[in-house]
Structure 1
Amino acid sequence: MKKYLLSVSFAMMVVTASIAQRTPQPSSAASVSQTVGITDFTVKYSRPNIKERSVFADSSALAPYNQLWRTGANQPTTLEANTPFWFGGKKVPAGKYALLSIPGGAAWTVILNKNFSVGTDGYKEADDAARVVVVPSSSNYNESFAIGFTNITDSTAYLNISWSAVTIPVSIATETQELTMASLNKAVAEKPEDAAVLQATAGYLLSKGRDLSQALALADKSIGLKETFANLWLKAQILAKLGKPADALPIAQKALTVGAASGDGAFASFYKGQIEKGIKAIQAKVPAVTEAAKVIKKGKKK
């Protein structure tokens, strides 16, 4: 009997422990991830609900004015980034931070603190990585507290802290161009005979409209190593961007021919139409450039 009771007691303890591992929280856990350029941001937080209570006011039970707030509920809210970034105009190293705030009527103070595990308990201003003042804006009513990203480009975004009918937009910026070029230059240095690496670097330079002569040299080297419709079309686009449509046209036409013979499914489904459209645009520029050259030549003869 004793053994039976012990077995039953042990089983109940196991079941109780198992149930205790996962129970609903009053404020649900949430996370949001966003890539800005080549920088990955992740915010982890808990989402309290208003439940007809006062929020963001001098007498609020939730997030009162002029008091440090964990900017969420339960555990400390954290923001993590894998590269350096600008937070409200302040440069911050890559890493994980506690996201805190001090609500206010006319302005909020939004904080990134290096001690991400403590939240408001044991908070020290000396550990702040960034402390910025942000003007709140009105928004649609949100019963549940929320953090998210909007207005995303390849190097900027807004981190929005939203609750009730208030949104606090914190500007985020990344050094996408510098980081990308550093990565591409490193890849070229390590693999100078890799046609795909050379093509990728030339393509990025073209997309940004910078160092086009270097982009052309990289495209030429890529073609010399392994000619494809992709690097031929890339070279044609660079020449067109350099104002040389007459030189670009035959290269673009060759890209079309090489692509048709390649049997590449991506060419038929995507690149063929893009190249054909590009050829028409280049052809439209050739007469104008030729005519301008003739006028310049006549002027010199006089």
Structure 2
Amino acid sequence: MITTTLLKTSRVLGSTLLVGGLLLSGAAQAQIATPAASPKSTVQQRVGLTDITITYSRPGVKGRPIFGDSTTKAITPFGQRWRTGANSTTSIKFSDDVTVEGKKVPAGEYGLYTIPGKTSWVVVLNKSLKQGADVKGFKDADDVARFTVKPYALANKVETFTMEFSDLTPATANVEMLWDKTGAKFKVTTDVDTKVMAQIDEKVVKNASASANDMAAAAVYYYDNNKDLKQALTWIQKANEKDAKFWNVHTEAKIRMKMKDYKGTVAAAEQSKKLAAEAKNTDYVKMNEGLIADAKKAGKL
């Protein structure tokens, strides 16, 4: 009995020591989590109907010289290719075909490389996403676009490298690269018109039972982009016949105003004003009042 008990006790102790050893081994191998020196960031922007996504790592100035010639010991020397961030190559992804600084770029994801200079920067979009600063592995033949932009001085120092979108329009945006006291940017243009016109063709032009909302949207697009105003007027009138909303009747008034049909403008604006007042929308009441005054003055009514 004593021998059996000792054997059982020995086995239990052995198992306990084994488990304890494994736990200690796992704890010893686990790494302490600390903040990254150059944290990874992703910025995304819809430009027109196209999504643009940039993924990059953000190094800090930390008292170092950033851009400069060989005498400054800059960490990003003039004339040398830079991965446009830290750790790995910055990537830029387009959901549709775009134009970047006049260069056609197919939909896809690319490495975004730059060659900073004192008076100009070369920006390169390359099929490779893994080359970083490795000159040997980089292939110019894999370039999708290469262009030159001018750097500019920043009014305020940017401690952490930053990429952002600015100057947004319905079809364009600038991509800005900001670090220390220097900035550089390039323009991306998307093809909005082709896509919208294709939708209008499908949902309105070729659809005998087009909805009031689709016809109104088509009319607004034609109005905003100075397309066929007679066609825009036809669509908005049909939309208003189906369902007269004060904002759509106001659109009819604006189209008539642009066509210099001042009496028609006043009539449509008066109707829109009445509908807006019934809906207690004071903003549209005021807009219609302003449009009525402008039409009466232009038409000497």
Matched, 1:3 2:15: yes
Worse-matched range after superposition: 8-17 or 139-148: 8-17
Where 2:202 maps in the other structure, the secondary structure is helix
Q: Report deviation, 1:18.
A: 6.8
Worse-matched range after superposition: 251-260 or 39-48: 251-260
In the alignment, the residues of structure 1 paired with residue 290 and residue 132 of structure 2 have an alpha-carbon distance, to the nearest angstrom, of 60
What is aligned with 1:51? 62
Worse-matched range after superposition: 278-287 or 91-100: 278-287
Tell me if structure 2 keeps the 8 A contact 1:212–1:242. Answer: yes
Give 5+ residue unaligned stretches, structure 1. 262-266, 292-302
What is aligned with 1:160? 176
Q: Report deviation, 1:17.
A: 7.1
Q: Report deviation, 1:5.
A: 3.2
Q: 1:114 aligns with which of 127, 130, 134?
A: 127
- Where do 4+ consecutive residues of structure 1 move more than 4 Å? 12-20, 189-192
What is aligned with 1:172? 188
- When residues 189 and 15 of structure 1 are mapped into structure 2, their CA distance, relative to the original with a 3 A threshold, is farther
Q: Report deviation, 1:151.
A: 2.1
Q: Report deviation, 1:71.
A: 0.7
CA RMSD of aligned residues (A): 2.6
The one-letter amino acid of 2:177's match is I
Where 1:100 maps in the other structure, the secondary structure is strand
Deviations 1:77-123 (A, max 9, x none): 11112222221221212221111111222221111112234444432
For the pair shown, the structure with the greater C-alpha radius of gyration is 2
In the alignment, the residues of structure 2 paired with residue 104 and residue 44 of structure 1 have an alpha-carbon distance, to the nearest angstrom, of 23
Matched, 1:38 2:45: no
What TM-score comes out, normalization by structure 1 length? 0.82
Where 1:161 maps in the other structure, the secondary structure is strand
Q: Report deviation, 1:19.
A: 5.2
- When residues 11 and 172 of structure 1 are mapped into structure 2, their CA distance, relative to the original with a 3 A threshold, is same
In the alignment, the residues of structure 1 paired with residue 225 and residue 119 of structure 2 have an alpha-carbon distance, to the nearest angstrom, of 39
Give the alignment of 1:200-239 within 5 angstroms: 200-239=217-256
- When residues 211 and 119 of structure 1 are mapped into structure 2, their CA distance, relative to the original with a 3 A threshold, is farther
Q: Report deviation, 1:141.
A: 2.1
The one-letter amino acid of 1:160's match is E
Q: 2:98 aligns with which of 85, 90, 98?
A: 85
What TM-score comes out, normalization by structure 2 length? 0.83
Worse-matched range after superposition: 4-13 or 130-139: 4-13
In the alignment, the residues of structure 2 paired with residue 256 and residue 124 of structure 1 have an alpha-carbon distance, to the nearest angstrom, of 63
Give the alignment of 1:119-158 within 5 angstroms: 119-121=132-134, 122-139=137-154, 140-158=156-174
In the alignment, the residues of structure 2 paired with residue 222 and residue 253 of structure 1 have an alpha-carbon distance, to the nearest angstrom, of 18
Where 2:76 maps in the other structure, the secondary structure is coil
What is aligned with 1:295? none
Q: Report deviation, 1:217.
A: 1.1
Q: 1:182 aligns with which of 198, 213, 232?
A: 198
Matched, 1:248 2:261: no
- When residues 16 and 225 of structure 1 are mapped into structure 2, their CA distance, relative to the original with a 3 A threshold, is farther
The one-letter amino acid of 1:289's match is G
The one-letter amino acid of 1:219's match is I
Aligned residues: 283
Give the alignment of 1:23-34 within 5 angstroms: 23-34=34-45
Where 1:144 maps in the other structure, the secondary structure is strand
